[in-house]
């Protein structure tokens, strides 16, 4: 970044603006910087085979600033999931609260990063100094405990980043949002507020997590068989609710799913989850316990194909199968993009005789994000000079910006930014001065960044139209066709129809080859596309489809 005449803070969102997930920001003062959050994004239907999406972290190697640290607000994957990949690009210490650090360390164990990473547990009682940045943490309520917002004291004023939050006046753990700190910040002056926009379209206030207690008690009182509850493994408050109600109704609880068991263990070890005595059992023991005494806490609330609940529903789980009389609760929201998978598994569960409850028909979930009135409460409490909405699709950011303007912040002091915008903040104004390329990288298995738009396009076409492979053997001496063309297809049509379809395509290819008269090895390379197009047109003429066609020419 070029030096400016006026001293300014620069904030660059590298993810999380104009989308849900992928949250990451770079905060810069002159030649010093730190990173706020490092999250991933889960794929949608347009990304077949992709495990998840991360930021194009190469941008960090192109900037000249010294990155002094990585500060994390809470333990959700859309805020910590990219950390293992970030550490390959940036050698900087990590700062997070205790439970958040526990989840990070569990992740780092899988990536063999425990010994090489510099990890520091922070509290809301003690700020940290990173070069010119004095960073203070304040408690915020969310669907994972130990979430914080961040106040950054800079040479030209204070920036506040809300993190993901709701204003819960009756939280499970009794830890309220730190209104006193927020009031003090406002009294001292806040230059800019960056605030969560996820639930801005919903009027009113988000209900307290504690409001679910009567609903769970009612379900437990009526259920005559097993109760299986699918929720996010990070929602420790929801786990606490289930454990408490299960104890009340004299039920044993099994934790099913690797992340469910791991997160519960971490939360217990660090004092964030209180497990009633003698309530937990191994899932192998459940067959010896009467159904009316069994509760299962499971992963799979988003219909993930290899999750514990999906395996149970399809009778592929080693120890548990869904059966008639089970009550199954999806205690989470349907994340956009996952609706089809969730609905499919719900239908499967109903077909096996289970009674399935979910947010649309039953009171089994509350959000961890604040609605309009809570967003306004934060805005009024902090009273910033400048306002920048974050965390949400563009419509969320725009709506949040309008709320701020309606609340009295001057329109010229409200900025709707997108990923890659270099937001420049001075005491005299706020603006986007330039744009950098903030791209995305697809992760599939061990491959990071080896899948691009062309690969995804081919995958989508194969999944929708199928693929045909054409194999020919030609002489490397005189170009004569020695064998073929042999054709095979995957996912194009029924096996019974394939011979007729491929036979016609083979005839069309041979006619095209005879018209082109390839006489040498190089000629065959020149006709490769002609062969592909002939086969594709033949299939499209008969079936109205355009499959991916791969032509393999072997010279011998």
Nearest CA among 546, 542, 544 for reference residue 497:
542
Tell me the chain's radius of gyration from C-alpha atoms.
28
Assess whether 288 carries a catalytic annotation.
Answer: no
Return d(Cα 134, Cα 95) in angstroms, integer. 13
Return d(Cα 299, Cα 490) in angstroms, integer. 33
Assess whether 369 carries a catalytic annotation.
Answer: yes
Active-site pick, 196, 396, 400, 421:
196
Tell me if residue 152 falls in helix, strand or coil. strand
Distant-in-sequence, close-in-space partners of 68: CB < 8 Å, separation ≥ 6:
32, 33, 34, 92, 130, 131, 133
Edge to edge, the sheet with strand 227-230 lists: 252-256, 294-298, 227-230, 327-330, 355-357
DSSP 379-431: HHHH--SEEEEESB-HHHHHHHHHHHHHTT--GGGB----TTEEEEEETTEEE
Nearest CA among 258, 243, 260, 266 for reference residue 97:
266
Bridge partner residues of 96 (DSSP): 121
DSSP 440-455: EEEEETTEES---HHH
Helices (H), strands (E): how many in the chain? 15, 25
Tell me if residue 107 falls in helix, strand or coil. helix
Tell me if residue 269 falls in helix, strand or coil. helix
Angle at the Cα of 554 (from 552 to 556), degrees rounded to 5? 175
Return d(Cα 315, Cα 320) in angstroms, integer. 8
Q: Does residue 254 contact residue 282 with C-beta atoms inside 8 Å?
A: yes
Tell me: cis bond preceding 408? Omega within 30 of 0 counts. no
- Residues labelled as active-site residues: 196, 369
């Amino acid at each position: 970044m070029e030096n400016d005449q006026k001293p300014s803070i620069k904030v660059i969102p590298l993810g999380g603006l104009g989308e849900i997930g992928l949250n990451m920001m770079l905060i810069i003062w002159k030649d010093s910087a730190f990173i706020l959050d490092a999250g991933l994004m889960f794929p949608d239907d347009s990304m077949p085979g992709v495990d998840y999406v991360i930021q194009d972290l190469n941008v960090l190697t192109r900037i000249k600033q010294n990155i002094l640290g990585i500060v994390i607000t809470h333990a959700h994957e859309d805020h910590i999931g990219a950390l293992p990949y970030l550490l390959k690009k940036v050698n900087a210490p990590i700062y997070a609260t205790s439970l958040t650090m526990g989840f990070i360390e569990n992740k780092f164990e899988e990536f063999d990063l425990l010994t090489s990473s510099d990890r520091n547990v922070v509290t809301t009682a003690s700020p940290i100094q990173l070069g010119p940045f004095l960073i203070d943490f304040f408690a915020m309520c969310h669907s994972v405990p130990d979430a914080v917002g961040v106040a950054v004291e800079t040479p030209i004023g204070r920036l506040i980043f809300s993190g993901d939050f709701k204003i819960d006046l009756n939280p499970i753990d009794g830890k309220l949002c730190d209104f006193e700190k927020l009031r003090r910040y406002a009294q001292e002056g806040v230059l800019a507020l960056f605030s969560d926009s996820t639930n801005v379209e919903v009027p009113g206030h988000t209900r307290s997590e504690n409001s679910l207690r009567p609903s769970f008690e009612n379900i437990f009182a009526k259920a005559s068989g097993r109760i299986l509850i699918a929720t996010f493994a990070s929602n420790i408050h929801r786990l606490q609710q289930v454990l408490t109600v299960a104890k009340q109704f004299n039920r044993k609880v099994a934790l099913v799913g690797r992340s469910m068991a791991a997160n519960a263990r971490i939360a217990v070890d660090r004092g964030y989850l209180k497990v009633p005595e003698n309530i937990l059992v191994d899932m192998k023991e459940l067959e010896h316990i009467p159904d009316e005494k069994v509760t299962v806490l499971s992963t799979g609330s988003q219909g993930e194909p290899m999750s514990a609940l999906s395996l149970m529903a399809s009778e592929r789980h080693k120890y548990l199968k869904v059966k008639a009389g089970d009550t199954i609760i999806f205690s989470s929201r349907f994340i956009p993009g996952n609706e089809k998978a969730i609905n499919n598994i719900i239908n499967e569960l109903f077909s096996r005789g289970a009674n399935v409850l979910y947010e649309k028909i039953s009171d089994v979930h509350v959000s961890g994000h604040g609605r309009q009135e809570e967003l306004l409460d934060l805005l009024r409490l902090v009273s910033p000079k400048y306002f920048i909405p974050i965390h949400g699709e563009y419509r969320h950011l725009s709506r949040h910006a309008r709320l701020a303007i309606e609340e009295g912040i001057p329109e010229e002091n409200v900025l709707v930014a997108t990923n890659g915008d270099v937001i420049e903040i001075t005491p005299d104004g706020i603006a986007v001065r330039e744009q950098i390329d903030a791209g995305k990288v697809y992760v599939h298995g061990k491959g990071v960044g080896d899948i691009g738009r062309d690969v995804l396009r081919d995958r989508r076409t194969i999944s929708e139209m199928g693929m045909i492979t054409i194999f020919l053997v030609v002489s490397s001496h005189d170009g004569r066709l020695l064998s073929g063309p042999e054709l095979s297809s995957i996912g194009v049509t029924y096996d019974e129809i394939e011979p007729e379809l491929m036979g016609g395509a083979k005839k069309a290819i041979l006619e095209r080859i005879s018209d082109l008269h390839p006489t040498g090895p190089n000629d065959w390379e020149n006709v490769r596309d002609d062969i592909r197009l002939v086969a594709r047109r033949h299939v499209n003429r008969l079936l109205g489809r355009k499959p991916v066609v791969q032509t393999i020419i072997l010279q011998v």
